[in-house]
Amino acid sequence: MTEVLRRYGPVLTGVILLAVALWLALLVVLPQVMMVDFSFRPSLPPSRLGGPEDVYTVRNYATLWTNQIHLAIFLKTIWASALVTATTLAVCYPVAFYLAQVASKRRLPLLILMLVVPFWINELLRTFAWYIILAFNGPLNVLLVALGIFDEPQRLLGGDAGVIVGMVYVYILFMVFPLYNAIESLDRNQIEAARDLGAGWIRIHWRVVLPHAKPGIAVGCIMTFMLAAGSYAVPALLGGPQSRWFTEVIYNWFFEGGNWNQGAAYAFILLVLCIGFILAALRLFRVGLADIAK
């Protein structure tokens, strides 16, 4: 704060703080407060609002535990989002390490550009691209049949596998760049010293690189999990009736069932889940908010 005051002066600093406070109040705090208020009220017609039936209740929250189908979808969303996060971490870690510690300074801008350019396209279009790739007569099935892996085309859409593959691709940058930023600050001399002392690559990564990259891993896992758990477009396009996501249930409550109170309760449960994952990730990787902010 002292540095901000020195750089911008008291007037401009006050304007910036006021703008941030208004942004947080109007776009973050107020919508969440309204959602919580909706979630604890019954769904009533306008003529009965404010009447004796319009009281706070936990009935909307209890619906999730009594509806076995919705509970199963909720639990499936948790483990599938965790699987998306773990798969994205496994795919992105070698890429981030190569960019941060192996790639030359001349090639690095081109490699990063190659990663970023596909994501200039809208998320829906990128998801539709995977819809075409995974289609029954799509290029992936044609390739697998041509290589003799499958005797006939397989249905790759409509299940959890297609949704997970699509999510890993859609959210890959949210894992790559936090990892890259963390690993890039590692002094290469530490890697060379570990190698000179006889450590193999697995031990170097386990004892040197991974401990240094913990803040980046935590940020990447948090962002990927939250985006995966809150995704609607990817499961709606690549999934099917057997691979419904919890966000699709929330959407149905709001826009098809017309029960905003029940939808708000489900949305708040999902929000609590994401907050719980953030706290668990911070504790698991033993990092604080200050470490992540770096």
Instruction: Give me the pLDDT at residue 92, please.
Output: 94
Segments in the chain below pLDDT 50: none
- Cα–Cα dist 162/232, whole Å: 14
Report the alpha-carbon angle 132-137-138, nearest 5.
Answer: 35
CA–CA separation, 38 and 266 (whole Å): 11
How many structural domains are present in the chain?
A: 1
Q: Residue 42, SS3?
A: coil
In a domain, 23, yes or no: no
- Taking the C-alpha atoms of residue 33 and residue 123, their distance in angstroms, rounded to an integer, is 29
CB atoms inside a 10 Å sphere around CB 15: 12
Q: What pLDDT is stored for residue 8 in this prediction? A: 67
Q: How far apart are CA 114 and CA 97, in angstroms?
A: 16
Instruction: With respect to residue 4, please indicate whether it lies within any of the assigned structural domains.
Output: no
Is residue 58 within 8 Å of residue 261, measured between CB atoms?
no
Residue 36 belongs to a domain: no
Residue 1 inside a domain? The answer is no
Residue 135 is part of a domain; what is its CATH number? 1.10.3720.10
Both tokens of residue 180? 């890259």
What pLDDT, on the 0 to 100 scale, is given for residue 146? Answer: 86
Residue 94 forms part of a structural domain? yes
For CA atoms 285, 214, 273, 279, give the dihedral sign.
Answer: positive
Any domain includes 48: no
Classify residue 101: in a domain, yes or no.
yes
Burial class (CB in 10 A: 0-12, 13-18, 19+), 21: exposed
- Quote the pLDDT of residue 264: 93
Q: What's this model's pTM, rounded to 2 decimal places?
A: 0.87
Name the residue range of residue 83's domain: 63-293
CA angle 131, 134, 136 (to 5 degrees): 105
For residue 81, the model assigns a pLDDT of 94
Tell whether 178 is covered by a domain: yes
